[in-house]
Amino acid sequence: MPRSTAFAGLALLTLAVIPAIAHAAPAKDHEKPRHRNSIPPKTIAPVTGPGEPEEVSVRGGIRSANGVTNTTPGGGLMARQTKAGAQSAITRDFIAKQAPTSNAIAMISALPGVISASTDPLGQSSTAMSIRGLQQAEIGFVYEGIPINDSINYTPYVQAMVDTDNIQSVTVAQGAPDIGAPVYNDVGGLVTIGLRGPLDRRGGTASLSYGSKSLEREFIRYDTGEIGHSGIKGFASFSSTTNDQWRGSGDFRKFHVDSKLIRNWGEGSSAGLTFSYDNWQQANYRPMTLAQWKQYGNSFNYDKTYSPGNTNWVGLRQYQRRSTVLIAPVKLRLSHELTLDVTPAYMNYSEFYFGGVSIANKGSYFGNQPITNFNLPDQINGRTTALSINPVPQKTGFLNTALSWHRGHNTARLGYIYNYIALEEPIYYAPVDRQGNIANYYNKYTISLPGGRQYRTLDMNFVHQMNEIFIEDTLNLLDDKLVLEAGLRYLMITRAATNLIPGVTRYRVGASYAQPLPQVSASYQITPHDQIYIDGTTAYRAPASVQVYGEVFSTSSPIPASQQRSLKGEYSIGEEIGYRHYSLVNISVSLFNYNITNNQITSSQYINGIPLPSPIEAGGKTSRGIQGEIGLRPWHHWSPYVSAQYLHATTDNNIAVAGDLLPTRGKRAVQSPAFSAALGLSYDDGTIFGNFLFSYVGSQYATIMNDEKIPAYETANITLGYRLRQLWFANHPQLQLNVVNLGAKNYLSGFQSISNNAKPTKGIYGTTIAGSSPLYLSAGGIAAIASLTTGF
């Protein structure tokens, strides 16, 4: 189908909307902006968390086609917070000025405690992150009231959920998440993505972007305004993105649809329907060891052309993902005191991981059964090159409910959350001929056993059910200056899996997890500008990874390449104390402490050319430190911002390896830089705008023994733009230039895999434990993206 046809067809398929956001103090007359694109001071409140909107003081604002108002302190990096716990948020004032190809994880990297790693400066590929030294798989992600982490490995596919153009805000709760958050892996905090609401009037936005690596992106959004006199509003958007891969060969292609319908009635009642569709395909980037990085740098890539027997050809190293999401939030004001929130959802995710492998015609195995003669096609010296195929189709049903009762100074909340996931995950193979043509695996032309059965090295059926109940009470005292909160959530998870490969340790395996999780907090508003808070929290994460429930075999061994393991859930106890000040200069600082038991470090291993999650049991962990941020309210159109964190995170136990103990007690925790910081500067007078962001990340250990690490690195991004008021039919058209990774420095940005020790190490009892090299993600190179955006 031609792109123009798909563009028009998909753009008109669906509609969407979210309520407009918050309120703030009016500006004094002498503080009103004087430029032609200014608007009168008004009430604005960006979404800053999963509960009620937080207030943000503003001083006037500007008009723009993409939602920028220039009202948030720090150039959109420091929206006001009131929660009794560390929390930060970015708004449209920052989001809209970033590269349109970026994603939510990349955009929050300037917030205190957040470390984000990417494999390309365009922000297209999967990203990895940590908060306060806790890994991405330990962080909950919520969008429109539903969890968006992968059900097994907890990877958040934020790029596939919503276009950057439609994100109103991203809120990071570095410590204690909302007690009713519908996630079960949030020991490291919670990231909440808020959808950008529609215009009250009919209109829309269109944008064209071109840039480095043949980047081409089109985006269009149409807002209905109120449809007739029905009270229904909505929007629909469509985007198309293509570009060459940043390193090596291959390309990236993505089509995306966002939409929502909503109807408000009465005093606070509403019903909506949100729809999201994403089709994402890309060539993978090749991870590398430290030695390979030092020798080859960014030239260490998958091969551009195929030669017979080459399993490192980029054509075999691909990733595809298709997602369809339906969310139907309903809010009912049952009485003046009683409110019911119900959010049912259905998610259908279809992933394909691909790799390359060489299979022997004689001497291969089906599980633990030897194969006498495979009768493989296109053999070279008795072996056939094959495409490894790992489809991961997930179907998820979800329900999130909460009943709130407000009376006098007291608010009580009672909730129930249910999540059901069904997954059938195989690994099978398609032959590759001497010219590099891959058999059509969609039509089931795959390698088969001599009896005709499809050859597989994993054949798992997996079912997950989560039930959670929570209760919370909030008491406001002393003219609402003192707020006391206490709550309890009880989490219950049941998982069951079967594996049809002969030779598995157990055909049927499962586990159940149950954990009570109490929280308490208190905050006091000292003055209208100053607040202090303290909190104590608990959190839990059920074990991640397919290796806990199913065994994956290699083609060349009767022994499973990954073993079934009984792992306990990860449990944390955290405390925070903090202070906030909001005025012309805004300050937020907090001290924190975590104690974690059954810490599970997320890593990965390659089996038959496919990267599969592989958890490391690391015992106990202590993480403590201080974080802070300072942002200036827009002053003469300027808004500077600074954030920083000092972190001291350590492993508390010696780790059992190979019948011995590695002396890891007291070592620095992996992926936990001691110091990180960001400096931002924004300018926007309604016509000329721009911002600059500099980030520093200290060195990070890649091994629990602390015998290998990646060096500290710095990055810098800049945005320049010019905005008009009106040009013919175009409302507030603007030209924006984003330059990412200014200076074009290549660096190791993060981790593909973690290891216990990189070098041979003597254990506590004298055993020499062999080392294993971690694998790293490489980033770098300068990217430039020019965008033309207009309202209509």
Domain assignment present for 543: yes
Domain assignment present for 507: no
Domain assignment present for 635: yes
Spatial contact of 639 and 668, defined as CB atoms under 8 Å apart: no
pLDDT at 202 over 60: yes
What does the pLDDT read at residue 339?
96
pTM reported for the whole predicted model: 0.90
Q: Tell whether 170 and 75 lie within a shared domain.
A: yes
Question: Helix, strand, or coil here: 792?
Answer: coil
Q: What are phi and psi of 371, to 5 degrees?
A: -105, 115
What does the pLDDT read at residue 11?
34
Listed range (53-67, 70-84, 186-200, 248-262) with the worst mean pLDDT: 53-67
What does the pLDDT read at residue 412?
97
Domain assignment present for 479: yes
Q: Tell whether 271 and 251 lie within a shared domain.
A: yes
What HEC string does 592-653 produce?
A: EEEEEECCEEEEEEEECCEEEEEEEECCCEEEEEEEEEEEECCECCEEEEEEEEEEEEEECC
What does the pLDDT read at residue 530?
97
| Length of the chain counted residue by residue | 792
Q: Tell whether 209 and 146 lie within a shared domain.
A: no
Domain termination residue (choose one: 193, 226, 252)? 193
Q: Tell whether 380 and 473 lie within a shared domain.
A: yes
**How many independent structural domains does the chain possess?**
2
Q: What are phi and psi of 48, to 5 degrees?
A: -125, 10
Domain termination residue (choose one: 193, 220, 235)? 193
Spatial contact of 110 and 678, defined as CB atoms under 8 Å apart: yes
pLDDT at 580 over 50: yes
- Two tokens at 23? 């309120």
Domain assignment present for 510: no
Listed range (57-71, 201-215, 505-519, 709-723) with the worst mean pLDDT: 57-71
- Two tokens at 705? 């023994």
Check which CATH number belongs to the domain holding 122 and give it. 2.170.130.10
Q: Which residue has the tokens 């805004």?
A: 586
What is the residue range of 109's domain? 3-193
- The amino acid present at 701, given as its one-letter code, is Y
Mean pLDDT, the chain, rounded, equals: 88
- Provide the pairing of β-strand 140-143 with 190-195: parallel
Mean pLDDT throughout 543-565? Answer: 84
Q: Tell whether 139 and 230 lie within a shared domain.
A: no
What does the pLDDT read at residue 602?
87
Query: What are the beta bridge partners of residue 541?
Result: 570
Q: Tell whether 692 and 764 lie within a shared domain.
A: yes
Neighbour tally for 295: CB within 10 Å: 11
Q: Tell whether 615 and 753 lie within a shared domain.
A: yes
Give me the sign of the Cα torsion angle 362, 364, 370, 375. Answer: negative
Q: Which residue has the tokens 């001290």?
A: 591
What does the pLDDT read at residue 546?
66
Q: Tell whether 279 and 183 lie within a shared domain.
A: no
Q: Which residue has the tokens 């839990």?
A: 540
Q: Tell whether 353 and 275 lie within a shared domain.
A: yes
- Two tokens at 141? 């992600």
Domain assignment present for 376: yes
Residue 60: which pLDDT band, with cuts at 50, 70 and 90? low
Domain termination residue (choose one: 169, 193, 217)? 193
Domain assignment present for 148: yes
What does the pLDDT read at residue 547?
60
Q: Write the CB contacts of 52 (distance below 8 Å, at least 6 apart in sequence).
A: none
Distance CA 651, CA 655 (A): 9
Q: Tell whether 487 and 545 lie within a shared domain.
A: yes
Q: Tell whether 282 and 138 lie within a shared domain.
A: no
Domain assignment present for 611: yes
H or E, element range at 95:
helix 92-95
Q: Please write the tens of the pLDDT for every residue from 488-543.
A: 999 999 999 999 999 998 889 888 999 999 999 999 999 999 999 999 999 999 88
Please state whether 666 falls in left (phi above 0), alpha (psi between -120 and 50) or beta.
left
pLDDT at 2 over 80: no
Check which CATH number belongs to the domain holding 743 and give it. 2.40.170.20
What does the pLDDT read at residue 29?
35
DSSP 312-336: TBGGGSEEEEEEEEEE--EEEE-SS
Q: Tell whether 337 and 188 lie within a shared domain.
A: no
Distance CA 105, CA 413 (A): 30
Residue 217: which pLDDT band, with cuts at 50, 70 and 90? very high
Distance CA 152, CA 130 (A): 18
Spatial contact of 541 and 513, defined as CB atoms under 8 Å apart: no
Q: What are phi and psi of 280, to 5 degrees?
A: -125, 125
Q: What are phi and psi of 402, to 5 degrees?
A: -150, 135
